[in-house]
Amino acid sequence: MGTDPQPIVMDETVLQAGERVVYPNQGVCRISGIEVKEIGGIRGEFLTMKREEDGATVMIPRAKVASVGLRHVAARSEVEALLGFLTAEADDPELDWKVRHRTHSDKMIGGSLLGTAEVLKGLHALSLLRPLPQRERELYDSARHLLVHEVAVALGMSPATAEDAIDLGLCPIAGSARAAEQARRISAAQEAELGLDDLNVAEITEAPATQEPPESEAAPPPAAEPDEEPSPPRARKRAAPARKANAPAGVAEARKRKPAAPKKKKAKTTRSKTAARVAGRRPAAKKRPAKRGGR
Amino acid sequence: MIHVVTLEPFEAEEVDVVCHALFAAYGVGCEHAAALELPEEAREDGPLDAVKILSNAGPVKTFADDKILFLVHSPLSPRESPVGLLPTHGYASYSEDKAVASAAGLPDDPAAQAAALAKLAVHEVGHLWDLHHCLDHRCAMCPPWSVAYARNPAADLCSFCRAKSERRMKLNPA
């Protein structure tokens, strides 16, 4: 950001009645004054203020003013820098929900204008990839609400205009170059998130389905590899894809068969070998466990 | 209760579509309350001033918690902001009782225009219940200039916005 943010109020004596401050997670409040109240038999001095949007009274014990994170309303230059930040290209959103939750909670408790904007922008970027869970949707709405009202107060405009100014940065106008660029980045990010590159989808789809010979004409299995012997269970597993392909034609035959044994870990190895055969590659040799020395 | 007030001539069918959409979205009664003259203060050389429409149009007889939606055909003047001129299809005073929606720039086909105006009406009235712009591209509370808003003609609210509007109505019944 181009300007320094408003510092946290550490001493309540600098505040005057009628002054506007921002209370983290509550929004813009107007100072009413200091009142003495007796609560639970204990007399204490409270800094009282009224929340601007609904007139709710907020009371802070005088000794805790420094720790709650009160600050003055952002300056105009700070808000203008913030709107520039919202218009700039967003970073990739954090996909780990635990990290995201912790980061966003810290920023909201901190209550700074930039922190709230970062929460808003981060969740907006995430929402372009996937729908937000309910808790994060509420957090997004809360961050937006706080930001809209502070920007409106700081710039002396209505909340409707403040929200439109914020959203003009986040959501480009339909048909603009920024909208096209955003759509391109979203589709690229969605493909990356699905991991299509890791699956080698193109390679598998290029191999024609008829390349696999029928079971009766199947070529003999490759010569026994020097370090492993073909065993009956594995032979059955190798033939499995062909049987699966013919399944619709031989339902009765399939009923006569014994129920399939529960799959074991080897199934993954077999599947990868089949995929390699389809792709015309030799399957990787299985590693033999090293013999123990001394015998 | 939501009162729809036309400030320029509108077809009765079009206003009916708007009223039905508002009733379906918020579950409160909606009626075409009056057809009034456009206030002189809002007339400028070009587009209309939305803020002046809200402050000068009327009077409309309502109860304390009623909402008023003004409908106009003429375009509304874009508002200035630090990020440039803001496209203004409608305007609402947040958490208060008046909003305006303009049919300017909507499709020429009467049915499509009525549907688009109904969606805009749902959007602007949503701001009166303190709904903010929504992330859900199927929700009527999407920013009206966004790509998602243009792609979805239905005037529906997402479950989050619907629940929030219901909560607001319970706190401040209309």
Chain B, window 2-41: residues with a beta carbon less than 8 angstroms from a chain A beta carbon: none
Say yes or no: B85 contacts chain A, CB-CB below 8 A. Answer: no
Query: What's the pLDDT score for residue B124?
Result: 95
Query: How many CB pairs below 8 Å do chains A and B form together?
Result: 78
- Predicted structure pTM score: 0.74
Query: What's the pLDDT score for residue B118?
Result: 95
Instruction: Identify which of A102, A98, A145, A149 has the alpha carbon closest to the alpha carbon of residue A120.
Output: A145
**What ipTM was assigned to the predicted interfaces of this complex?**
0.91
- Please judge whether A160 and B164 are an interchain contact, meaning their C-beta atoms are less than 8 angstroms apart: no
A140 contacts in B (CB within 8 Å)?
135
- Please judge whether A161 and B81 are an interchain contact, meaning their C-beta atoms are less than 8 angstroms apart: yes
Stretch B152-158: mean pLDDT: 91
Confidence class for position A193, pLDDT limits 50, 70, 90:
low
Is residue A176 pLDDT above 60, yes or no? yes
Question: What DSSP letter does each residue of A58-95 carry, written as one string?
Answer: EEEEGGGHHHHT-EEPPPHHHHHHHHHHHHSPPPPPP-
Q: Which residue has the tokens 């980045």?
A: A185
Interface-testing mutation among A168, A170, A182, with chain B (most B C-beta atoms within 10 A): A168
Query: What's the pLDDT score for residue A282?
Result: 53
Say yes or no: B92 contacts chain A, CB-CB below 8 A. Answer: yes
Distance between CA B54 and CA B89 in Å, rounded? 14
Q: Which of A186-200, A238-252, B28-42 has the lowest mean pLDDT?
A: A238-252
Our CA-based measurement puts residue A127 at a distance from the nearest CA of chain B, in whole angstroms, of 7
Instruction: Identify which of B148, B152, B157, B170 has the alpha carbon closest to the alpha carbon of residue B124.
Output: B157
Partner residue opposite A127 with nearest CB, options B51, B94, B135: B135
| Among chain B residues, CA nearest to A159 | B94
Type of residue at A122: G
Query: What's the pLDDT score for residue B149?
Result: 87
- Please judge whether B94 and A158 are an interchain contact, meaning their C-beta atoms are less than 8 angstroms apart: yes
Query: What's the pLDDT score for residue A200?
Result: 55
Stretch B49-54: mean pLDDT: 91
Partner residue opposite B147 with nearest CB, options A160, A165, A183: A183
Cis amide linkage into residue B59, ω under 30° from 0: yes
B95 contacts in A (CB within 8 Å)?
53, 159
